[in-house]
Amino acid sequence: MTANIKKSTRYQLSDVKKALIIYYIIITAIQVLNWVISLIIRSSTPTILVVGNSSTVDMTSTFFLFVIGLCTFKENFGMLLQNGFSRRSVLTGRLLSYGVMALVMTVVDRVLTLLFNLIGKAVGGFANVTAFELSYGPGGFGWQMLGLLYTLLLYLEMLLMGYCISLMFYRLSKLGKVLVGAGVPVLVLIVGPVLDLNFTGGKVYTAIGQFFMVAFGYADNQPWYAVITLTVISLLASLCAWLMMRRATVRK
């Protein structure tokens, strides 16, 4: 690894450090609030049992990381190009920093989930279940390790998707931004389903839905399919990011 890639990675990691700390403070605060409410309800009406499942930590992290991906391109790109970094170093550093972030958050989220559940047993309130367990069910040690791998790849994919969208909007002209920003959702969520319903009786969208059910292993309860799909999406997103970044110019 060249010195510039190391520096680029370190800088881009430090850039999200504060956001991560704030995020975990909020997550913990919400969990504590959950316990407090649960305790209040139980103390006032002891006959009511507050139970339920929630995949609070890792599902929230998934959305958080998508937003982080959306927010981490423009300023870093300008800052690093200002300071003598090539686009290759900027992107390589970005990918490495995302890898580190995804790994750290996978571990932290799992620890928090276990910790929250441990305290939750004593206090009451909602139990935390991982997104993996909600999708594919509980299992033994090997299954849990697969769950960690799934979470890691899901996090990485969300970061990269956010990054690619932000890069795409950076590269697009004003008209392009409007067309993509408004046109794609309208096309996919309104025009597409209407046309599909009228011309094929909804077969296209059903097929797309079934494809995703298979690709993410929901149909056969096969998380390995999801691992492969997430890996492919992450690789494609990295490639797209490079194709968009290699000709990106600095803009104010």
| Residues contributing to the site for another protein (CB under 8 A) | 2, 4, 7, 10-11, 15, 75-76, 78-79, 81-89, 247, 249-250, 252
Minimum CB separation of residue 249 from another protein in Å reads 5
The CB-of-1 to another protein minimum distance in angstroms stands at 12
Cβ nearer to another protein, comparing 14 with 206: 14
Nearer to another protein, 4 or 31 (CB): 4
Least Å from the CB of residue 53 to another protein: 38
CB of 211 to another protein, least distance (A): 38
For residues 82 and 51, what is the distance between their CA atoms, to the nearest angstrom? 54
Q: Which of 48, 93, 47, 103 is nearest to 73 (CA)?
A: 93
- Cα–Cα distance for residue pair 143/223, rounded to 1 Å: 9
3-class state of residue 9 by DSSP: helix
DSSP state of 124: -
Reported residue count of the chain is 252
Which is nearer to another protein, 11 or 225 (by Cβ)?
11
Tokens linked to 79: 């800052």
Give the type of residue at 221.
N
